[in-house]
Amino acid sequence: MGVFFGTDGLRGKVNGDLSYDLAYRCGNALSSFAGVKAKILIGTDTRKSASLIMLGFACGAVNGGAKVTSVGVCPTAGVSYLTKTLGYDFGVVISASHNPAEFNGIKIFDKTGIKLSEKQEEQIEKLFLKESALSFDKLGTFEFLPKYVNLYKDFLINSSDCLLEGLKIVLDLSNGASSFVAPKVFKKLKAKVIVLSGKPDGLNINRDCGALFTRNLVEKVKKCRADIGLAFDGDSDRLIAVDERGNVVDGDKLIYLFACIYKKYGRLTLPIVVGTRHTNMGVEQALGDMGIKLIRTEIGDKYVSAKLIEQNLLIGGEQSGHIILRDKHVTGDGILAGVMLASILKKEQKPLSSYFNFECFKQANINVEVHDKMKVINSEKLSKEIEKEEQCLCGEGRIMVRVSGTEPFIRIMVETKSKQTSEVIAQKMAQIVSEVDREL
C-alpha cells in the first residue's frame, strides 16, 4: 500500500484525512499519469460530501487536461461497467463504501473496469506533489451526463435469464447508491419489491442499515414472509442476503451457492473458486466435498479479481459480500449478485435455506483502534502470542491479525468449531494488541 491509497482506494474523514485539496491533487495526478486529453468518468454515492470531493477531483483533472464526465450518483460497479463499455480511460468512484457519512474516498478503475494495481497507485501518488497546470487552450472539460446510469440498469436487467414474477424480495438499500437503481431493476424483472432504507439525505448512508446491519432486514423478511432479503452497502458493491427463515447468508455462503449452481449447469469451466484469508473453513470444506477447490488471497476484492484473471476463473469474493461473477462483470457488484441469486431461486423453485446443509466454523471478529497500526502489527510480542495460541489449536482453527487498509484498526479474526473458544481467544488477542499499542 502507498501513503494515501489503502486496500480499496484513498479514504478518510472529510476535511481531515481527505480534503478538497487532496482530491484535487489526486485528480491532477491521474490526468498527468494518463496523459493529456484522458477521458475520466466519475460517479458518487449519496454522501453530503460527494460534491466537495468530486468537484475537487474533477477540477484537478480538468486543470491537467482531462475530459471529465460525471454521471452523478451511481453504484461502484456501475462506474466500472460504464468505464469499460463507453471507452473511458479511467473510472472514478467518490465513495467510502460501508463507512459512516463523515468518511469519503476515491476509487479508481482502469479502462477495462478493473481497480488499479498497487504499483499504479504508487505511481500516481508520486505525482501528487507536482501539479500540472496547463495553458488555457489545453485545459480539459467537464460535463454532467446522469443518463448514462440507465445503461447500467439495462445491463443488470438483461443479466437475468428469467423474470422474477412471484418472488417477494425485501431490499435494504443502505440509503446509498443502490437507492436509485436496485428497486427499478427488480421491479422491471417483475418481482414484488419491499424497500428499506431507500431515502438518502446525505447523512444517513449506512446508518443502522445495509450490509453491515441486517437486523431490520431480518425482521422485515420474516414479517412479510418474503422469499429473500438483499442488503447492499453504501456504494452497493457488497451483498448480504437473508433467507426466507430470517437467516443471514454472507459472502462466503454466496460463493458456495454460486459455485454449486455453476457446476450443476456446466458453467464452472474449472472446479476452482477464489476467496480470501477470511473465508470460512466450513465453506472451504463444503466446497471440497463438491469437488471444488478454494484458493485464498489477501483481504480486498481487487486481490480476488486479480487472481480470477490470472487463473481464468469465474467465481470469487469475500465474506463481507463482495461477489465477482466474472462471466457477467469484472468487479464486485452487489446488485448483480442479487439479481443472479433471485434468478436461481426462481428457476430452481427451492428456498434459499435449502442450499446450506453444512456447518460453518464459528468466527469471532474484533477491531481494535490503535495509534500506529504498522508498529503494532510488527510487534515481536504480538507475533509470539499469535504463534503460541495457534500451536494450542493444533490445526483445528485459525487466528488472523491484520491491519485495516482504510481505518486505524487492527482487525482480529479467530475461527474454531466452538463459538466460546473463538471469542475467548479473540478477546485475549485484543488485549495483547491494546497492551502493545500502549507500550509503543
Q: Which residues are catalytic?
A: 97
Question: Among residues 362, 374, 376, which one has the least CA distance to residue 432?
Answer: 376
Contact of 170 with 145, CB cutoff 8 Å: no
CA nearest neighbour of 197 among 237, 230, 238, 164: 230
Q: How far apart are CA 403 and CA 387, in angstroms?
A: 17
Cα-Cα-Cα-Cα torsion 100, 235, 92, 409, nearest 10 degrees, comes to: 40
**Please, is 76 exposed, middle or buried when counting C-beta atoms within 10 Å of its C-beta (0-12, 13-18, 19+)?**
buried
DSSP H or E run through 41: strand 39-44
The Cα angle at residue 198 between residues 196 and 199, in degrees rounded to 5? 130
User: Do the beta carbons of residue 292 and residue 354 sit within 8 Å?
Assistant: no
CB-based contact 75:236 (threshold 8 Å): yes
Q: Which three cell numbers stand for residue 433?
A: 494488541
Largest CA distance in the chain: 69
Q: How far is CA 70 from CA 18, 59, 88, in A?
A: 20, 12, 12
Give me 60's grid cell: 484537478
If 0-12 CB within 10 Å is exposed, 13-18 middle and 19+ buried, where does residue 144 land?
exposed
Confirm if 151 and 177 have CB atoms less than 8 A apart: no
Find all residues with CB under 8 Å of 208, minimum gap 6, and list them. 216
What's the distance, Cα to Cα, between the start and end of the chain in Å? 22
d(CA 82, CA 432): 46
Strands in 95-214 per DSSP E: 103-109, 141-144, 168-172, 192-196
